[in-house]
Amino acid sequence: MLPAARLAVALGACCAAAAAAQHLALSIDNIEAPAFSARALKVELEPGNPGTLALAVEEVNLHGQRWRNVRLTCTSLHLEKTEIRCAAGTLDAGEKWPVVFSYSMRRKTFELALSPTPQERWRLSSELNAAGREFRVTIEDGRLARLAPWLPGGWPRINAGTVSGTLLFTGAPQLQLSAGLDIRGASFSDAAGLHAGEKVAAGLELEARQTERQWQGHAAVTWKDGEVFWQPLYFTGRGQRLIAKGAVDESQVRVEHANVTLPGVGEVRLDGTWDRRSGTIAAAGARAAKLDFGAFYAQILKPFLERTVLSDLRTEGEVALEARLEGGGLAAVDVRLADVSVEDRQRRFALFGVSGRIPWRRDGAAATEIRLKGGELLRLPFGAFALALDMRGLSFALKRAQVPLLDGALTVNDFAAALDSDGWRWQFSGALSPVSMERITQAVDLPVMHGSLSGVIPVVTYARSTLEVGGALLFRVFDGTVVAKGLTLLDPLGRAPRLKTDLEMRNLDLDLLTRTFSFGSITGRVDVEVRDLELAGWRPVKFDARIGSSPGEYPRRISQTAVQNISALGGAGAAGAIQRSFLRFFDQFGYEKLGLACRLANGVCAMGGVEDAPQGYVIVKGGGIPALTVLGYNRSVNWEELLNRLTRIMQDNPSAIVR
């Protein structure tokens, strides 16, 4: 028998006895029922029309909640042969609420109405007869905060909102429950601020029945309005809907099937089992036949990718997804991509038109079937190619792939990757077939360079956010060779990548080089050595560089424009003398050798040339007829000022080609 009905029967018996007495007092030591108990009840009745009732309970326990010194008084009690009615009463259980109630002994019905505030009403009614029993709760604008004591420990605290609707318990000996509730203006939060909601509006529909050991049923929840932050996810109510069927018992919560509708994203089907004793997911599955990948990334994936290279993307396309969790971890994922595009907003990388399937298995082998229409890496565009990646758990391998890169191709051989306790590790080797330097420099917004870039790529490894090239990278540019040794790149796709390497450049064509940067005309060859080069955010912060004429016989001429520009780099030099002497009538001069050095540290370049001079250093040493020597006088130059001088030189020369 339900607690309210038990209490009503006791009151009914008491009132029946009171009909033949002037005063009645009744004491009950204890009332016990499943999930309910009441201790030390005292009832006093004063018959009359109307009469009075005073009920005191020392302790009441209901579903784990406890109240002490509960008082119910009625000053307008009507006693009839088969009915009790209280038209004006007060319930005191820590705060005082107006109450009315009635009990019909003939119909065996009990009704109770509470009005904690003028705006809200809580009605309870029960009926017990030979056919069964019924217990109904009807709520009108009830304050949600009153339900806070019934929520599990650790849940966010409800601080605003109302609920209206009905809960109906029927059946004997097995209970059936149906509910229809409408929630408006709900707000909640926890102390850490990791879970919060504002002005939430939602609807709940529930049907369930109790068997011997469990509840079985189905429910539907519709989120109509409001905002919810549940670390790290943030959502606004736009008609999201959950329909679920399952069962609950002492040991687990089992979802046989559920359907989640996310407006703008798609629908996801779920199933799973929650172990109540351990507080973990025993098994779970998710399936989605068609999701809008742009909305799925923005609403679901992006919050989990903060502080990674995937945190700020433009995305589009469609995705089908199937995933399975078993044994406390992800056991299988099957992803189908349909024309998916992913583009980093900082232009570090992009993939366009990705289609295919990724059937990953934790404990088995599988292979991808992926096709890409193209993409970008550090602003270098690449073309369409297919990717057949072999997978076994968290180990991945690729025998060979050829990626079109501008007018050449990048070949990747023996790619292997795995996840261990230190994070991801991978390595590969490869080669670069000739790519036009003109197209490369245009793509990355550098001054146009001539020639081609090609070479062999030794073993490249990545671990602990560091990329290293084993051996030397060799490629050709400006009709010479460039060798990079000890190349190390830290956090390559991060916000501030750092690069360290040594460079050796041999026999570069000065004519191609100076024409590229519109520096004036210089014919000849130069060697370049850059030691301890370090870039931060792709900007130099440290190096020791020297440029000098290459050994050998070749034409060595320098134009008056180049002399003036060199003078601007090294400080006051021969430019003024040229304008003041007969040398101004010559456009070209001979030289024996040229060179410039810069050791950068702490934002300052320590300058030097091919040899020292009494008041500075020699940048260009004259030779031939007419000959001209260019001196530099500033031994220390601010690095940013040096860059500004280079910028002004190229801007002042209208023939400069900068894209």
* Residue 280, Cβ density class (10 Å: 0-12 exposed, 13-18 middle, ≥19 buried): exposed
Q: Is the pLDDT of residue 345 over 60?
A: yes
Residue 242's pLDDT is 97
Per-residue pLDDT tens for 211-255?
Answer: 878 899 999 999 999 999 999 999 999 999 999 999 999 899 999
From the list 164, 159, 123, 118, the residue with the least C-alpha distance to 141 is 164
The total number of residues written for the chain in this structure: 659
- Whether residue 9 is predicted with pLDDT greater than 70 in this model: the reply is no
Residue 34 banded pLDDT, cuts 50, 70, 90: low
Task: Report the pLDDT value the prediction gives residue 298, as an integer from 0 to 100.
Answer: 94
**In the predicted model, is pLDDT for residue 333 greater than 70?**
yes
Query: What pLDDT score does 2 carry?
Result: 45
Q: pLDDT higher for 574 or 618?
A: 618
Counting residues of the chain whose pLDDT is more than 70, the rounded percentage is 89
pLDDT score at 35: 66
Long-range contacts of 70-78 (CB under 8 A, 24+ apart): 72/99, 74/99, 74/101, 75/50, 76/50, 77/45, 77/50, 77/51, 77/52, 77/53, 78/49, 78/50, 78/51
d(CA 230, CA 275): 22
pLDDT at 570 over 70: no
Distance CA 449, CA 514 (A): 10
Pairing, β 176-189 against β 280-292: unpaired
Q: What is the pLDDT of residue 579?
A: 44
E strand or H helix that includes residue 17: helix 3-18
> Looking at 497-629, which runs of residues are DSSP E strands?
498-509, 522-523, 525-536, 539-549, 557-559, 588-601, 604-609, 611-613, 616-622
pLDDT, one tens digit per residue, over 494-514 is 777 899 999 999 999 888 777
pLDDT tens digits, one per residue of 434-469: 888 788 878 877 667 767 777 788 899 999 889 998
Token duo for residue 19: 């009909």
The share of the chain scoring above pLDDT 90, in percent, equals 49
User: CA-CA distance, 469 to 460, in Å (whole number)?
Assistant: 5
User: Taking phi first (over 0 means left), then psi (-120 to 50 degrees means alpha), and beta for anything else, what does residue 317 get?
Assistant: left
pLDDT for 551: 93
Give the residue-averaged pLDDT of 358-370. 92
- Spatial distance between the Cα atoms of 621 and 236, rounded to a whole number of angstroms: 73
Distance of CA 531 to CAs 398, 459, 486, 497, 504, Å?
35, 22, 11, 19, 9
Mean per-residue pLDDT, 615-644: 82
pLDDT in tens, 71-124: 999 988 888 888 888 988 999 988 899 999 998 888 888 899 999 998 899 999
Query: Count of alpha carbons within 13 Å of 92, Cβ hemisphere only?
Result: 10
Q: Which pLDDT value is given to residue 323? A: 96
Q: What's the pLDDT score for residue 130?
A: 57
Q: Over 60: is that where the pLDDT of 3 sits?
A: no
Using CA atoms of 322, 326, 330, 333 in order, give the dihedral in degrees to the nearest 10: -20
> What pLDDT, on the 0 to 100 scale, is given for residue 5?
46
- Mean pLDDT, the chain, rounded, equals 85
Alpha helices (H) along 533-574:
560-570
**For residue 581, what pLDDT band results from cuts at 50, 70 and 90?**
low
What is residue 651's predicted lDDT score, i.e. its pLDDT? 59
Q: Looking at residues 271-292, what average pLDDT do you find?
A: 93
Q: Rounded mean pLDDT of 134-145?
A: 92
Q: How confident is the model at residue 569 (pLDDT cuts 50, 70, 90)?
A: low
Nearest of 251, 183, 180, 247 to residue 215 by alpha carbon: 247
pLDDT at residue 22, rounded to an integer: 60
pLDDT number for residue 127: 83
- Region 155-177 average pLDDT: 88
**pLDDT tens for residues 191-210?**
888 999 999 999 999 999 98
Amino acid at 457: I
Closest residue by Cα to residue 406 from 434, 381, 431, 437? 381
Contact between 102 and 78 (Cβ < 8 Å): no
Give the range among 27-36, 441-450, 535-544, 548-557 with minimum mean pLDDT.
441-450
**For 33-37, 278-282, 631-635, which range has the lowest pLDDT when averaged over its residues?**
33-37
Strand extents, DSSP E, 252-307:
252-262, 266-275, 280-292
